[in-house]
Amino acid sequence: MVRKTGLAVALVAALGLVAGSTAVAADFFKGKTIRVVVGYAPGGGYDTYTRQVVRHMGKHIPGNPKFIVQNMTGAGSLVSANYIQRRAKRDGTVLGVWNSGFVLMQALGDRKVQIKAKELGWIGAPVKGNPTCAFMGWSGVRTLADITDPNRKIKVGGTRTGSTGVDMPKLLNQTAGTNFDVVAGYSGTATSRIAMQSKEVAGACWGWESMRVTARGMLDARGDDKMIPVLVTHKIDDPELKDSLLVHEVVKKRGGKEGVATYSAWGGQYEFQRPFVAPPGVPADRLALLREGFRKTLQDPAFLEEAKKVKLIVQYVPPKEIAGHVDTILGIPQESKDALSFLVRK
């Protein structure tokens, strides 16, 4: 009886501490402004998803903090990723949204990538990725024969190593014998789209979940001005992708099992796209409130209705699932690291 009573008292005390901690965290966010640092330029998929989420997130966090978005471009969002890891305030008032591919770059030993993925506070992700390569009507690129013609260089635009726009075409050159000429240095998909329209490059690769929204005018255009999705990683129930080539089938046909294994190891990063990330060291009670607020936002009918209107695909990825993907990526076998090492800039 005494032992049971002692356990009950301990449980009540523990619950009281948790409730007290939550109340303190809620009080902390009251009157605060949370700055969300997006690693890409305005108008692209990262920026679009982030602004859509933060319009609703404040009402789902006790204390109802305000949210502002800051675009911190550079090196395909690496500048913002390194900022979140090393310099951002660790009090819960600064979050980052940047390319999850840097977790793979960490695994591959890219010295410019300063993140330590297991130290970060993963809040959640609003969507999973479907890397897609699309080309302008004027380019004439439509078929497997077009993209594998050894006598034809096809210019594609991207940001830097570690981004879909650069890594995907390079990887396809390696595993499927495509003949893409990667032009890096664009600040994001918005500037890549402008380059496609001005005929600087023939196409670009980025997530279909973003492309179908941010490039809607180009997808709906006709003739030379129309953008056509030619290569897609996952065949989904979308009429706009019915004629697209499936990447894994192309890679299997031309690169065999080794090519498929290499592409799959690279593709793990797309299980959590455009993640919201807190710096290391954010107090656990505040991090828990941010995570819960993000979850509630992604399930908020008002948010989902707005997302539907602008054709955003929403697939909530919880922080625990992200942590599992991070472990898998950091633990890819050495043979996969060797096969992907060409992606790391020396």
Residue 334 has a CB neighbour count (10 Å cut-off) of 7
Q: Is the confidence at residue 12, as pLDDT, over 50?
A: no
pLDDT at 17: 47
Least Cα distance to 263 among 167, 154, 133 occurs for 167
Please report the domains of the chain, with CATH numbers, ordered by start residue.
2-127+272-343 (3.40.190.150), 131-268 (3.40.190.10)
Asked if residue 4 has pLDDT above 70, the reply is: no
Got the DSSP string for 81-92?
Answer: HHHHHHTS-SSS
Instruction: Among 106-115, 155-164, 292-301, 313-322, name the one with the lowest average pLDDT.
Output: 155-164
Cα pseudo-dihedral 23, 24, 30, 35, rounded to 10: -120
Sheet of 227-232: strand order equals: 180-183, 154-157, 203-207, 131-136, 227-232, 245-246
**What is the rounded average pLDDT of the residues 13-36?**
75
Q: How many helices (H) does the chain have, and how many strands (E)?
A: 14, 11
Tokens of 18: 């948790």
Q: Is the pLDDT of residue 20 over 70?
A: no
Token pair, residue 130, equals 């479907």
Give the separation between CA 211 and CA 275, rounded to whole angstroms.
Answer: 17
Q: Average the pLDDT over 214-228 and give the result.
A: 97
Residue 296's H or E segment, with its range, is: helix 284-298
Tell me the torsion sign for CA atoms 7, 9, 12, 13.
negative
**188-215 pLDDT per residue, tens:** 889 999 999 999 999 999 999 999 999 9
The pair of three-digit structure tokens given for residue 295, joined into one six-digit string: 């979850």
Residue 126 is classified by DSSP as S
List pLDDT tens digits, range 53-85.
999 999 999 999 999 999 999 998 999 999 999
Number of other CB atoms surrounding residue 301 within 10 Å: 7
What secondary structure letter does DSSP report for 68?
Answer: E
